[in-house]
Structure 1
Amino acid sequence: MDSSPEQPTRLGAFLRDRRTRLDPAALGLGGRRRTRGLRREEVAQRAHISTTWYTWLEQGRGGAPSPRVLDSLADALLMTEAEREHLFLVGIGRPPKARVAQRESISWRLQRLLDAMPLIPATIATSTWDIIGWNRAARLALTDYEALAPDDRNILRRMFLDPSTRAAQADWEAVARFLVATFRAETARIGDDDHARQLVAELSARSVDFVRLWTEQNVQSSGEGAKTIRHARMGEMTFEFSSFAIDGRPDLKLMVYNPATERDIDKMRQLCAESDSIGLPVGAGDLPVTEQRPTT
């Protein structure tokens, strides 16, 4: 942490400002008030720390608080994720571990964004590679996620436990290693999570290949690159994929698969036309990959 005197002053000012913004009545705290917001002792009680220690923090005394104390203060002061991150930055000079939002759906605005790309497959994936959002193009070119049960939409589970998914990969080893490396990196960033632990335990118990790759300790970002699939109707289709972080949802990433050539765009148009004529999706099935080339 920066030991300059400015740092604790910024922390104290931020804590004091957020304390005075809270409505005591809304939190069930009665009594006549001469000043706005909560009292220091009320914040300390909600954060399970001593009033003296909290007072010192507002006054810029007593040294740097621990991450646990900052988390408690963020909860006590009903901070948003952006405010929590700022609290850590001014308090100890680094951001907190991201929290997983306990939601298995995406906002209607994100869905509208996906739907605005009729010829570009796009999905929303969690840090554990659960697909929780997709557009029509993804159903046509990749996998009909809508037809699958939620547990079956996990890419790691399908890659290691489903024989047909494995058989569809021209280079299963490269794809599996990529998925495990990104899984390790992203779950470490998120922090301790029950779902991630349970998934690791399940895959470890049922797949010796997962155990082998998991013990390699490789880490990688989703990044960008090229992906070629063997589609059941269109044959080979190549996409340039890019991964984007979603503000306010550190546990999610937007994966966009842009058709690489005019020929691939034509195949997407043909898929859409065929789907319109028969009213059914024509999925390739679990992203069979013949090439994966991350760019630098």
Structure 2
Amino acid sequence: MTTAAPEQTQHVRRRELAAFLRSRRERITPEQVGLPRGTRRRTPGLRREEVAQLSAVGITWYTWIEQARAAHVSAQVLDAVARALLMDPAERAHLFALAGTADPRTGADRPAASGTALKVVERLAPYPASLQNARYDLLAVNRPFAQLFGDPAGLPPADRNCLWLLTTSERWKRDFLDRDEMLRDLIAKYRAGMAEHVAEPAWKEQLGRLLRASDEFRELWQRHEVAPMSPHVKRYMHPRVGLVRLEHRNMWLAPQTPAHRVVAYLPADEESEERLERLAELPDEQPAG
């Protein structure tokens, strides 16, 4: 099986980007962006010079982009063009993906969790489950997860993250019996995942926060270890029901980035299943931190 050379891949990307921009430009009417239509307009939608004017981009440079002649388009130009063409979040994400450029807009890579994804997480009860993104942020959890590991809803949004909790939470440090091995493995997976997002502000901000917060994290990060996603058994000592052995499974909800995944924690033996059933009968737990 042969793979495309980097130059060929970039050429395909530039052509797709050009075609996408033309299609978006042609569907926007002058009236939508506050421009007069005039009496001699033949171009469907906006003209190239009008997009350039609206986005404060040189007409020659914008023309090159639509002709697939621009080798690299900056995030600032993409942002301006996306706004000028009234792109919705899905179109904007597609634009930046085609350009191979990180979106600088705050929160741009944190789309809201869909109702379907939340239903999947809830329906996995009595098994603990969470909805996570590629950075291990806990976007949603079901009641069994909150009962077993603590409820992340009671924490500041920036702290609702598996890496952060495994690094800084006294509860997670104490009750995950294989915590040291888990942290090393999770950091290795995080490093592998970050290779595709190394220039993205949200990833850089999160990494910087972890490096500042923990000497242990910093030492493990400097090892440059990488690891693939793989299921394994975690041992958790709950203070009220005792030892629970869980095997976690990932289910990605979208093939593209940024994607969400449901992480389900399935009992590894009958004793663990019985203890999860007992836990379901107890009052709700305290925050995870």
Q: TM-score category by the smaller chain?
A: 0.7 to 0.9
Q: Which residue matches 1:66?
A: 73
Decide whether the 8 Å contact of 1:119 with 1:269 is kept in 2.
yes
Q: Which runs of structure 2 are paired with 1:276-291 in the superposition (5 Å)? A: 280-282=283-285
1:211 pairs with 2:245: no
> Structure 1 residues 76 and 219 mapped into 2: Cα distance closer, same or farther (>3 Å)?
farther
Partner of residue 141, structure 1: 148
1:236 is aligned to: 243
Unaligned runs of 5+ in 2: 1-6
C-alpha displacement at 1:201, in angstroms?
A: 3.9
Letter in 2 for 1:117: L
Distance 1:101 1:227, change over 3 A: farther
- 2:23 maps to which of 9, 17, 26: 17
Aligned to 2:276: 268
Question: Is 1:2 the counterpart of 2:8 in the alignment?
Answer: yes
Counting only pairs closer than 5 Å after superposition, residues 89-108 of structure 1 correspond to structure 2 as 95-97=100-102, 100-101=107-108, 106-108=113-115
Paired with 1:7 and 1:157, the residues of 2 have a C-alpha distance of 36
- 1:157 maps to a residue whose letter is W
The question of whether the paired residues in 1 share the 8 Å contact of 2:150 and 2:288 is answered with yes
TM-score, length-normalised on structure 1?
0.73
Residues 1:264 and 1:165: Cα distance change in structure 2 (over 3 Å): closer
Q: Look up the equivalent residue of 1:179 and give its one-letter code.
A: L
Check the 8 A contact 1:239/1:258 in 2, yes or no.
yes
Residue type of the alignment partner of 2:233: A
Deviation at 1:215, TM superposition (A): 1.1
Q: How far has the Cα of 1:213 moved from its partner?
A: 0.8
Shift of residue 233, structure 1, vs aligned partner: 2.9
C-alpha separation in 2, matches of 1:199 and 1:214: 13
Q: Distance in 2 between matches of 1:259 and 1:66?
A: 49
Q: Where do 5+ consecutive residues of structure 1 fail to align?
A: 287-296
Question: Equivalent residue for 1:254?
Answer: 262
| Residue 54 (1) aligns with residue 57 (2) | no
The residue type equivalent to 1:24 in the other structure is P
The 8 Å contact of residues 148 and 285 in structure 2, kept in 1 or not, is answered as: yes
C-alpha root-mean-square deviation of aligned residues, in Å?
A: 3.7
Q: C-alpha separation between the residues in 1 aligned to 2:80 and 2:226?
A: 30
Change in CA separation of 1:284 and 1:235 when aligned onto 2, cut-off 3 Å? farther
Secondary structure at 2:118's aligned position in 1?
helix
Q: Distance in 2 between matches of 1:231 and 1:48?
A: 58
My pick for the range that moved more, 117-126 or 25-34, is: 25-34
- The SS at the match of 1:31 is coil
Structure-2 residue corresponding to 1:189:
196
Work out the CA distance in 2 between the residues paired with 1:75 and 1:131: 30
The DSSP-based 3-state class of the residue aligned with 1:224 is coil
Q: Answer yes or no: is the 8 Å Cα contact 2:167–2:214 preserved in 1.
A: yes
* Structure-1 separation of matches of 2:12 and 2:160: 48
Superposition deviation, residue 21 in structure 1: 0.9
1:162 corresponds, among 157, 160, 169, to 169
Deviation at 1:54, TM superposition (A): 2.8
Distance 1:16 1:199 in 2: 36
Map Cα deviations across residues 110-133 of structure 1 (whole Å, 9 max, x no partner): 322211222221112344433231
